[in-house]
Amino acid sequence: MAFSIGELARRADVKVPTIRYYEQIGLMPETLRTEGQQRRYGSAAVARLAFIRHARELGFDIDAIRTLLSLQDDPDQPCARADEIATIRLAEVDRRIAGLQALRKELKKMVDECAQGRVCDCQVIETLADRTHSHKSWKEPAVSSRG
Amino acid sequence: MAFSIGELARRADVKVPTIRYYEQIGLMPETLRTEGQQRRYGSAAVARLAFIRHARELGFDIDAIRTLLSLQDDPDQPCARADEIATIRLAEVDRRIAGLQALRKELKKMVDECAQGRVCDCQVIETLADRTHSHKSWKEPAVSSRG
DNA sequence: TATTTTCCTCCAGTGACTAGAGAATTATGA
DNA sequence: TCATAATTCTCTAGTCACTGGAGGAAAATA
């Protein structure tokens, strides 16, 4: 019932530096320390961290999670605010899916039509260079490559 | 046929500091300057910037775009490399769409089932707190809020 | 000419981590 | 009990692709 940051990391499936980062920005509370200043956690920390992780997976940003956590910490409030956050996020996800599907179509066309010849006739390059293409205001966020 | 950075920004629909940033990282070449050191561009710059912008919209990262641009600059090479980049990106997009659709389903369920009561019975909070939920390895990148 | 607009460089900040240095602490095996 | 190995500590800096501001100079307009 008092385990290390590494153990917490394993149990909640979150990296160790990420836990320290969450503590630093106030998402995770400061916790007990050993005499040697090492952090020790209990099961509540696992639950909270799992909550955060899950919310991150669902694409909520830290600020939204902060609100969600404060709601969870004070469970007698009406949940309209939590619902609102989730609803906003849902609309965002819908927009994103639509954008990605348009993107997919274009990429597919590019790849399919590439004649595997010289660059001068390459459809991939052609398509990208085509300024007559309709520009949507939608923008995809950067992709973080992870192993 | 020699316009300012602001005009280029308008023509390619890219912000002014972004153009300077692209020059700094070598995506856009250094360009002519006036006596007073102000940048001047021609139509080639518009085309190149539009190419970059379009590629970014399609979710290519800067490194991929660098490769694509070097291919475009040297159009006698085989286009297998460009095709490969686009193919990799297509697979990535497919994965992303699948992930977002799972996410969407979960969010929808959360919102639909929220009884608009107290937080203690809120489905949104419940779902997020539920550690029995199956954790996928897929992770959505952070959302940049833009106006 | 006077004013306004646009431009310049440089530096710092964003979000959500991730990685590394260098030292201290804890756990394990003989 | 001690040596060693694994883990942890703090602190700093780096990632990506920009974005914004300060303070000043140049260009465009009235």
> Which of B57, B120, B135 has the CB atom closest to A75's CB atom?
B120
Query: For a pLDDT cut of 70, what percent of chain A falls above it?
Result: 78
How high is the pLDDT of residue A135? 41
Q: Which residues pair with B39 in a beta bridge?
A: B33
What's the pLDDT tens digit per position in B43-95? 999 999 998 998 887 778 898 889 888 877 776 667 777 788 778 878 877 88
Query: For a pLDDT cut of 70, what percent of chain B falls above it?
Result: 78
CA of A4 to C1' of D7 (A): 9
Question: Looking at beta carbons, which residues of chain B come within 8 Å of A91?
Answer: none
> Which of A75, A79, A144 has the CB atom closest to B141's CB atom?
A144
Per-residue pLDDT averaged across A56-65, rounded?
83
Number of Cβ within a 10 Å radius of residue B125: 23
pLDDT at A4 over 80: yes
Query: What's the pTM?
Result: 0.73
The DSSP letter of residue A133 is: S
How high is the pLDDT of residue B144? 33
Amino acid at A18: T
Nearest CA among B52, B48, B44, B56 for reference residue B2: B44
Q: Considering chain B, what is the average pLDDT of its residues?
A: 79
Whole-number Å distance between alpha carbons of A5 and B72: 50
How high is the pLDDT of residue A52? 93
Whole-number Å distance between alpha carbons of B39 and A130: 25
Q: Which residues pair with B32 in a beta bridge?
A: B40
B 47-76 near A (Cβ less than 8 A): 47, 50-51, 53-59, 61, 68, 71-72, 74-76
Whole-number Å distance between alpha carbons of B103 and B130: 15
What residues contact residue A133 under an 8 Å CB cut-off, 6+ apart?
A: A127, B54
pLDDT at A60 over 50: yes
How high is the pLDDT of residue A117? 61
Whole-number Å distance between alpha carbons of A124 and A115: 10
Element (H, E) at B33: strand B32-33
CB atoms A140 and B116 under 8 Å: no
The token duo for B37 is 């050191």
Element (H, E) at B91: helix B80-113
- With CA atoms as reference, the chain B residue closest to A113 would be B83
Centroid of chain to Cα A46: 19
